[in-house]
Amino acid sequence: MPEGDTVWRTALHLDKALSGHVLLASDFRVPAYATLDLSGRRVVGTVSRGKHLLTRIGEGDEPVTLHTHLKMEGSWHLYREGTRWRRPAHEARAVLRTEEWTAVGFALGVVEVLPRAGEEQVVGHLGPDLLGPDWDLDEAVRRVTRDPDRSVGEAVLDQRNIAGVGNMYKSELCFLLGLDPWVPVADVPDVPALLRQAKRVLEANKLRTAQTTTGDIRRGKQLWVYRRDRQPCRRCGTPIRVAMQGPSGLGAGAEAESRQASQERATYWCPHCQPGPVR
């Protein structure tokens, strides 16, 4: 699943390409909106909220918002007229065309069009956004620490606590702070430092296509532990380990964050640099 910085950058590109332009055509390839036509309406802007994208369309009477979520496989592409699409047409879920650009959302996990006033229904449950204007360290600390027995890995991944951290950053942040991902939040010595580090990392990567936590953008050198199981730790040489973390099964509610927070996810760590109980 894309990290919050990837979604932020996607919003930036959509906003620059579409904002202020009138839709010449729209095509929603999902049953609920198959007959919806937004042509003739002006695109007001696109913003990210955690891992959600909100494209605001129309002004005056009945303005709407196109709410999309990339989930695991989704992406938005921008094409000039006549340019060949880089993904198969059968994967397209939303197409917005202006005079200059065609924006195509492929394999989107969520596509819904709602009244502008209803945005809070789909993003109001999210915690402070690490890359958003609503970032509030104190509120983020309050949310992360409200369940002191929960593992720190699960707590920072839960979008209802802080919005923007995905599975890759979860593992990398725990390594950077020397935290065993399974340690209870109550035993984390400095939760504010962890969240400040999360913000620094996402801010540093939000304009990069190649994310890095090591500071090295060369292929194979970018990350400390994520997807490096059995490879030597870059600091101490100990083999990196991987294990599933989080309660199995689906959580209550329909939100993607509720499901994500309740599913097991692969977690990577160095048992020497992040000491904890033997597993």
Which active-site residues does the annotation give?
A: 2-3, 51, 265
121 vs 124: CA distance, rounded Å: 6
Rounded to the nearest angstrom, the gap between the alpha carbon of residue 262 and the centroid of all alpha carbons in its chain is 16
Residues 244-274 as b/e (b if ≥16 CB within 10 A, e otherwise) read: ebbeeeeeeeebbbbebbbbebebbbbbebb
233 vs 207: CA distance, rounded Å: 27
Helices (H), ranges, 103-255: 119-123, 137-144, 152-157, 167-176, 191-205
The DSSP element (H or E) to which 48 belongs, if any, is: strand 43-49
163 vs 130: CA distance, rounded Å: 6
DSSP 97: E
242 vs 228: CA distance, rounded Å: 8
* 56, amino acid identity: R
List the end-to-end C-alpha distance of the chain, in Å, as a whole number. 26
DSSP 118: G
- Please calculate the CA angle 33-159-106 and round it to the nearest 5 degrees: 35
